[in-house]
Structure 1
C-alpha cells in the first residue's frame, strides 16, 4: 500500500519533507514518472535516501502526498473565491473558478504531468471524490447566496454534476496544450452555467443565471 511512513512533528523534519515534495514536483516537469527514482529525488532535495525513506515508503507515496496537498489547495482556492464579493453574473463566478484551476495546470510544478502521466493511485480515488464534493458544496452555497439558486438537494446535485463537468472540460483543455485550449475553457463556464440554471419542471425554478 502506498503511504507516508511518518508524519513529521518538528519544524526541521517538516522542512525536509517539504524539500522532498518540491524536488519531486520539479523533477516531474522533465522526468517521466517511470524514470524517477528515490535516489534522484533525494539528491535533488538535498537529503539522504535514508532520510527520504524515513518519511515515504516509495516514490508513489511521495506523489500521493503531493496530490493530497494539491487537492486540499483546490478546496481552499474554491473557498476563497466563493467567499469573496461575488460578481454580477453567475457565469463570471464560474469563469473565475475555472481560471484559478487553469492556473494550477500552467504554473504548479508537476501538476499537469501528474494529472496526465502520473501513477493511478487507488488510495487517492476516495480522497478525490471527497474533494469534488467539498468544492461542489461551496459552489452551491455561493450560487444560493448570490444568484437565487434554490437551497435544495436537487440543486446540490446540479452543483455536483457541474463540478464534475468542469473538471472533465479542464482535463480536455489541457490534454494537448500546457497553456490550455482557450475556447474549451470559455465554453466550460458557459456550459456549467446553463446547466446549473436550466428550468426544472418539478421545481418551478425560473432558470436565470
Structure 2
C-alpha cells in the first residue's frame, strides 16, 4: 500500500537565485494543473516546463503533491491579502457601504484564476490541505466579526459570532459557486450578484 505523499518542502529558498527557481516550479505546476490536470503533473513534467533539472526540483520539493500544496498556499495568500485590505479600508464605514465592497472582493478573488481555483479545490482533500482552508476561514471570520463589533450600533440585536458565521459562509458560498460552476461569469453578472448578495446581507444585519 502506497504511503502518504510528502507535502512539506525540503528546504526554504533563501537566495535570490533559489527563490527564482522555486517560483518557476510553483508557476509551472499551476500552469500544468490548469492545462493538463493533476495526473499529468509529474515532477519530470513540472521541471521541464519550469526550465530546471528534476534534481533541482527535488532539492526543494519531495513530490508533486508538495508543489501543489505550494500553489494552494500562494493562491490562498493572495486571496487573503485582498480580504485583509478591503476589511481594513471599510473598518469605519456603515454596513450599507462596506458590505458591497466585501462581497465584491470575494467574487473578485475567486475570479482571479477560476480554472486554477477549480483545480485546487479538487486537489485540497488529496493533498491534506483542509486545515489550511480552515485557517483561511477562521481569519476571514475573525476579521469580519471585528468589523461587526465596531459597527455594533448599526446592527439589530444579534449574536456576533453567529452573524459573522452566517455572513462569511454566505459570501464565500455565493462567490465560490458563481465562479466555479459557471463557464464564464461576465462583469455584468458579477455586478448583479454583488448587488443581490449585498442586499440580502445588509437586510439580515440591519436594525
Q: Same fold judged by TM-score > 0.5?
A: yes
Instruction: For structure 1, list consecutive stretches of 5 or more residues without a partner in the other structure.
Output: 198-206
Matched, 1:189 2:189: no
Task: Return the offset for 1:122.
Answer: 5.5
Question: Matches of residues 136-147 of structure 1 in structure 2 within 5 Å?
Answer: 136-146=141-151
Q: Which structure is higher in helix share? A: 2
Give the length in aligned residue pairs: 197
CA RMSD of aligned residues (A): 2.8
> Which residue pairs with 1:157 in the alignment?
162
Per-residue CA deviations over 1:30-61 (Å, capped at 9, x if unaligned) read 11112222111111111111111111121111
When the two structures are superposed, what TM-score results if normalisation uses the length of structure 2?
0.79
Cα separation, 2, equivalents of 1:41 and 1:186: 41
8 A Cα contact 2:87 2:143, kept in partner: yes
> Which residue pairs with 1:32 in the alignment?
37
Matched, 1:17 2:22: yes
Deviates more, 1:1-10 or 1:105-114: 105-114
8 A Cα contact 1:149 1:155, kept in partner: no
8 A Cα contact 1:25 1:109, kept in partner: no
When the two structures are superposed, what TM-score results if normalisation uses the length of structure 1?
0.78
> Which residue pairs with 1:45 in the alignment?
50
Deviates more, 1:3-12 or 1:137-146: 137-146
Please state whether the residue corresponding to 1:118 is helix, strand or coil.
Answer: helix
Cα separation, 2, equivalents of 1:114 and 1:105: 12
Task: Return the offset for 1:110.
Answer: 5.3
